[in-house]
Amino acid sequence: MSFIKLKRTLKEALNTGASPSVNIWNFTQVALNPNEQYLQYSDVSGGVDFDGNYTVHICKCDGTELLDITSKVAILEMVVDGVNQFAFEIAPLKVSYYTPVLLKFKHGVSDLTLYSNRFIVKNDSKTTRIDYLDYTRPVNLYQSIRLNMYFDREDADSEITEYTQINGNKVSGRAIKTDLEIYKFDFLDGFTFKNLNNLLTTPIVYFNGNRVTNKQVLKSEARAGDTNFWSQEIIVPIDYTDTFVDNYQIFETFDAIEFIPFGDYTPQIPIIEYGVYGDSYSESYN
C-alpha cells in the first residue's frame, strides 16, 4: 500500500472518496520532510510502463508545474501481478510547501501522465516517519512515508501468569512487560485512515526507527462537523532493541544524488515556501 498514489487523471488523483456533506477540507496528512528520502510503489490501475523515460514535477493542485524534480526521483520498473509497475524513490527535496501540492509523472515520448494525491512538505517535529515492508512484490523494498501525526506519550502493558499451588495459595509468575507508544492525529481523513490500517497489518513496520511489534486494525471516529477529518489516537507496542535506519534503495550511490557542486564553494540551499500553511481551509478540489 502506498500513501502517494498515482492516477491517470488529475480528477482521479484529487478524489479522496470523502462524504458529499464535506465543506471544509484538510489535506496535510502526508507531510514529507524536505531533508529525507522516501520510497513508494506506483500501483497504477492497469499498469504503466515508462521504459526509463520520464520527468517528474511538483505541481499545484490545478496541475500547474512548480518545480522539476526529475533528477531527484529514481524509479525501478517491475512486473507486479502480470502488469508493469514501478517503485519510485524521492531524494531530499530541499524545498518546503506548506499548502498541498502533488507529483506529476510524464512519459517522455507519449501523452501518458500520472498525478499523485496531495501532500505537504515541511520540517516539523510533530510528524512521524514510518518505514514498512510487506513482501508482496517481486523486488521487496522498504516503503517509507511521513505522516502528520505526533508522538504523545509512553505507556506500558504487562501480562502476568498465575497458578494455584497444591496448598491453595495463588502464585504469580514472571511479569512480561510491553512498552507502548501513543500517537495522535489532529486531522485524520478517510484516505489516510484506510492506508494506515493496511500499513498496520504488514509484517514489518517501524515508527521513527523503532519496531512496531503487533498487527492491528483501527476504528474511526466521528468527523468534526462538515469537515473531512477527525482526531485519532493510535497505540502501538514498541521494541526499542529492533531499530531501522533508512538507506537509498534505488539510487545506486550517494554520489548519484549529490546536488551541491563539488569544490571549495558550497552554496546555501534556499528553502522555498509555497503559500501560507493552515491546518484547515476550504478547497474546491475533491
Q: What is the pLDDT of residue 50?
A: 94
pLDDT tens column, 119-134: 999 999 999 999 999 9
pTM, full prediction: 0.82
Question: What's phi and psi for 184, nearest 5 deg?
Answer: -135, 140
Q: Pairing relation of β-strands 204-207 and 170-189?
A: unpaired
| Mean pLDDT (whole number) for 262-268 | 39
pLDDT tens column, 195-204: 999 999 999 9
Chain centroid to Cα 247, Å, comes to 16
Q: Under a CB-based contact definition with an 8 Å cutoff, are residues 56 and 73 in contact?
A: yes
Q: Spell out where 138-228 has E strands.
A: 143-147, 149-164, 170-189, 204-207, 210-212
Report the C-alpha gap between 222 and 153 in whole angstroms. 23
Q: Indicate the domain borders of the chain.
A: 6-10+17-252
Q: What is the pLDDT of residue 281?
A: 36
Helix (H, G, I), strand (E, B) or coil at 257: helix
Q: What is the pLDDT of residue 105?
A: 98
Q: What is the pLDDT of residue 259?
A: 45
Q: What is the pLDDT of residue 230?
A: 97
User: With 80 as the cut, is the pLDDT of residue 266 above it?
Assistant: no
pLDDT tens column, 224-239: 999 999 999 999 999 9
Helix (H, G, I), strand (E, B) or coil at 149: strand
Reported as a pLDDT band with limits 50, 70 and 90, residue 278 is very low
Q: List the Cα angle 252/117/114 in 5-degree steps.
A: 65
Buried b (16+ CB within 10 A) or exposed e, 16-46: bebeeebeebbbbbbbbbbebbbbbbbbbee
